[in-house]
Amino acid sequence: MKYVVMIFRNLDRTWTEEDQQGVVRLTRLKRQLDESGELVSSEGLLPPEEGRIVQIRDGEQVVTDGPFGEAKEQLAGYFLVDAVDDERAQAIASLVSAAAGDRVELRGTLISAGMPDELG
Protein backbone atom coordinates (compact mmCIF):
# COMPACT_ATOMS: atom_id res chain seq x y z
CA MET A 1 0.00 0.00 0.00
CA LYS A 2 1.16 3.52 -0.72
CA TYR A 3 1.59 6.06 2.06
CA VAL A 4 2.53 9.74 2.12
CA VAL A 5 4.85 10.90 4.88
CA MET A 6 4.44 14.68 5.11
CA ILE A 7 7.23 16.73 6.66
CA PHE A 8 6.28 20.00 8.35
CA ARG A 9 8.45 22.99 9.24
CA ASN A 10 7.76 25.85 11.61
CA LEU A 11 8.08 29.09 9.65
CA ASP A 12 9.19 31.02 12.75
CA ARG A 13 12.51 29.17 12.83
CA THR A 14 15.64 30.35 11.08
CA TRP A 15 17.66 27.87 9.01
CA THR A 16 20.45 26.31 11.08
CA GLU A 17 23.35 23.93 10.63
CA GLU A 18 21.13 21.25 12.21
CA ASP A 19 18.56 21.86 9.46
CA GLN A 20 21.30 21.41 6.85
CA GLN A 21 22.31 18.14 8.52
CA GLY A 22 18.64 17.11 8.41
CA VAL A 23 18.67 17.54 4.63
CA VAL A 24 21.75 15.31 4.47
CA ARG A 25 20.01 12.67 6.62
CA LEU A 26 16.82 12.85 4.53
CA THR A 27 18.85 12.47 1.31
CA ARG A 28 20.58 9.40 2.75
CA LEU A 29 17.21 7.93 3.79
CA LYS A 30 15.80 8.67 0.34
CA ARG A 31 18.63 6.61 -1.21
CA GLN A 32 18.06 3.73 1.24
CA LEU A 33 14.32 3.60 0.52
CA ASP A 34 15.01 3.78 -3.21
CA GLU A 35 17.43 0.85 -2.94
CA SER A 36 14.89 -1.20 -0.96
CA GLY A 37 12.23 -0.50 -3.61
CA GLU A 38 9.94 1.27 -1.13
CA LEU A 39 10.41 4.83 -2.41
CA VAL A 40 7.92 6.03 -5.00
CA SER A 41 8.98 9.70 -4.86
CA SER A 42 10.26 12.35 -2.48
CA GLU A 43 10.66 16.11 -2.75
CA GLY A 44 11.26 19.14 -0.62
CA LEU A 45 8.95 22.06 -1.30
CA LEU A 46 9.74 25.71 -1.91
CA PRO A 47 8.56 28.10 0.84
CA PRO A 48 4.86 29.04 0.93
CA GLU A 49 5.56 32.52 -0.46
CA GLU A 50 6.68 30.79 -3.68
CA GLY A 51 3.32 29.00 -3.99
CA ARG A 52 0.03 29.94 -5.58
CA ILE A 53 -3.61 29.04 -5.04
CA VAL A 54 -5.27 28.06 -8.34
CA GLN A 55 -9.03 27.68 -8.54
CA ILE A 56 -11.97 28.08 -10.88
CA ARG A 57 -14.52 30.76 -9.98
CA ASP A 58 -17.50 31.35 -12.24
CA GLY A 59 -15.79 29.31 -14.94
CA GLU A 60 -12.60 31.42 -14.86
CA GLN A 61 -9.17 30.52 -13.56
CA VAL A 62 -8.14 32.64 -10.56
CA VAL A 63 -4.53 32.52 -9.33
CA THR A 64 -3.60 34.01 -5.95
CA ASP A 65 0.00 34.45 -4.82
CA GLY A 66 1.16 33.28 -1.38
CA PRO A 67 1.76 33.29 1.51
CA PHE A 68 -1.40 31.58 2.67
CA GLY A 69 -3.09 31.08 5.99
CA GLU A 70 -2.04 31.96 9.48
CA ALA A 71 -0.50 28.59 10.32
CA LYS A 72 3.05 28.67 11.68
CA GLU A 73 3.74 25.17 10.37
CA GLN A 74 3.74 24.52 6.66
CA LEU A 75 4.28 21.44 4.52
CA ALA A 76 8.00 21.38 3.74
CA GLY A 77 8.31 18.11 1.82
CA TYR A 78 7.10 14.57 1.47
CA PHE A 79 8.04 10.94 0.93
CA LEU A 80 5.63 8.76 -1.06
CA VAL A 81 6.43 5.16 -0.13
CA ASP A 82 5.06 1.74 -0.99
CA ALA A 83 5.11 -0.24 2.28
CA VAL A 84 4.10 -3.86 2.80
CA ASP A 85 1.87 -2.94 5.75
CA ASP A 86 0.95 -0.17 8.17
CA GLU A 87 3.61 -1.24 10.66
CA ARG A 88 6.35 -0.78 8.05
CA ALA A 89 4.84 2.56 6.96
CA GLN A 90 4.99 3.75 10.58
CA ALA A 91 8.59 2.59 10.83
CA ILE A 92 9.47 4.57 7.69
CA ALA A 93 7.63 7.62 9.06
CA SER A 94 9.70 7.32 12.25
CA LEU A 95 12.89 7.29 10.18
CA VAL A 96 11.75 10.40 8.29
CA SER A 97 10.85 12.14 11.56
CA ALA A 98 14.25 11.32 13.07
CA ALA A 99 16.07 12.51 9.94
CA ALA A 100 14.05 15.73 9.68
CA GLY A 101 14.23 16.36 13.42
CA ASP A 102 10.53 17.15 13.66
CA ARG A 103 7.10 15.57 13.51
CA VAL A 104 5.68 14.09 10.33
CA GLU A 105 2.18 13.06 9.29
CA LEU A 106 1.52 9.61 7.79
CA ARG A 107 -1.47 8.90 5.55
CA GLY A 108 -2.38 6.02 3.28
CA THR A 109 -3.44 6.89 -0.26
CA LEU A 110 -7.06 6.47 -1.25
CA ILE A 111 -6.54 4.39 -4.39
CA SER A 112 -4.10 1.93 -2.83
CA ALA A 113 -6.46 1.57 0.15
CA GLY A 114 -9.19 0.39 -2.23
CA MET A 115 -11.19 3.40 -3.35
CA PRO A 116 -14.91 2.63 -3.33
CA ASP A 117 -16.27 1.91 -6.83
CA GLU A 118 -18.67 4.84 -6.67
CA LEU A 119 -15.68 7.23 -6.35
CA GLY A 120 -13.60 5.66 -9.11
pLDDT score recorded for residue 74 = 85
- Residue 102 CB partners (closer than 8 Å, separation 6+): 7, 8, 9, 10
Where residue 49 falls (left for φ over 0; alpha for ψ -120 to 50; beta otherwise) is alpha
3-state secondary structure 51-65: CEEEEEECCEEEEEE
Question: What's the angle, vertex CA 47, arms to CA 65 and CA 26, rounded to 5?
Answer: 150
- Structural domains of the chain, with CATH: 2-108 (3.30.70.1060)
pLDDT score recorded for residue 36 = 97
List, for the chain, all residue ranges whose pLDDT scores fall below the cut of 70: 66-70, 116-120
pLDDT score recorded for residue 120 = 54
Write out pLDDT tens, residues 80-108.
Answer: 999 999 999 999 999 999 999 889 999 99
pLDDT score recorded for residue 44 = 92
